[in-house]
């Protein structure tokens, strides 16, 4: 099985790639530069390009059976919703289109716990909880919630999982 991992140069992406490598899976990553990669690239196919570029992303996805989508704009100092929208929503939309074109039906989307309302010690939070302040005013959380809904709308004939890590 060949898996495309977006966001492989981030903290979570790094660990996902290492786990896939341990399991002997074929791995492809798309990165702008390898200078921020802090793991052995042996056995990993590296596609140098921008995740927001349709052709770069399509090239990265070709030959893959599954996609683990971790890449996201996460900076807390962005001041406009559009700063998050281009990567978290628009590039994700492109990724879904490409997956559909290429017949890739297994997709894992890494979102954020910020899209889920708070839980308590007696009642855990889950995806049925409403997003709550302060996250309702967070451009980051809003963009990830929109993207979750986008992925949820594309589940027909697909194996899709959305993960909300803390």
Per-residue pLDDT at 25? 97
Regarding the domain delimited by 2-163, which CATH topology (the fold level of the hierarchy) does it fall under?
Rossmann fold (3.40.50)
pLDDT at 134 over 80: no
C-alpha pair distances (Å), 60 with each of 15, 28, 29, 88: 19, 7, 7, 18
* Per-residue pLDDT, 120: 78
pLDDT for 129 = 74
| 140 has pLDDT over 80 | yes
- Is the C-alpha dihedral spanning 47, 100, 150, 166 positive or negative? negative
pLDDT tens track for 28-59: 999 988 888 888 889 999 999 999 999 999 99
**Count of other CB atoms within 10 angstroms of residue 43:** 10
Cα separation of 38 and 47, whole Å? 16
> Of 68, 163, 152, nearest to 107 (Cα)?
68
Is pLDDT at 135 greater than 90 in this prediction? no
pLDDT in tens, 95-125: 999 999 999 999 999 999 888 877 778 878 7
């Amino acid at each position: 099985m060949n898996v495309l991992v977006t966001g492989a140069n981030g903290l979570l992406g790094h660990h996902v790639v290492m786990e896939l490598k341990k399991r002997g899976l074929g791995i492809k990553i798309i990165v702008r530069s390898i200078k921020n990669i802090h793991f052995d690239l042996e056995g990993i196919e590296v596609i140098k390009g921008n995740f927001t570029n349709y052709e770069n992303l399509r090239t990265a996805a070709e030959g893959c059976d599954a996609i683990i989508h971790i890449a996201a704009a996460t900076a807390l100092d962005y001041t406009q919703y559009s700063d998050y929208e281009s990567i978290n929503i628009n590039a994700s939309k492109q990724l879904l289109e490409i997956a559909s074109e290429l017949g890739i039906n297994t997709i894992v989307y890494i979102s954020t716990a910020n899209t889920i309302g708070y839980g308590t010690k007696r009642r855990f939070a889950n995806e049925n909880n409403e997003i709550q302040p302060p996250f309702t005013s967070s451009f980051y959380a809003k963009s990830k919630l929109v993207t979750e809904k986008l992925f949820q709308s594309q589940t027909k004939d697909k194996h899709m999982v959305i993960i909300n890590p803390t």
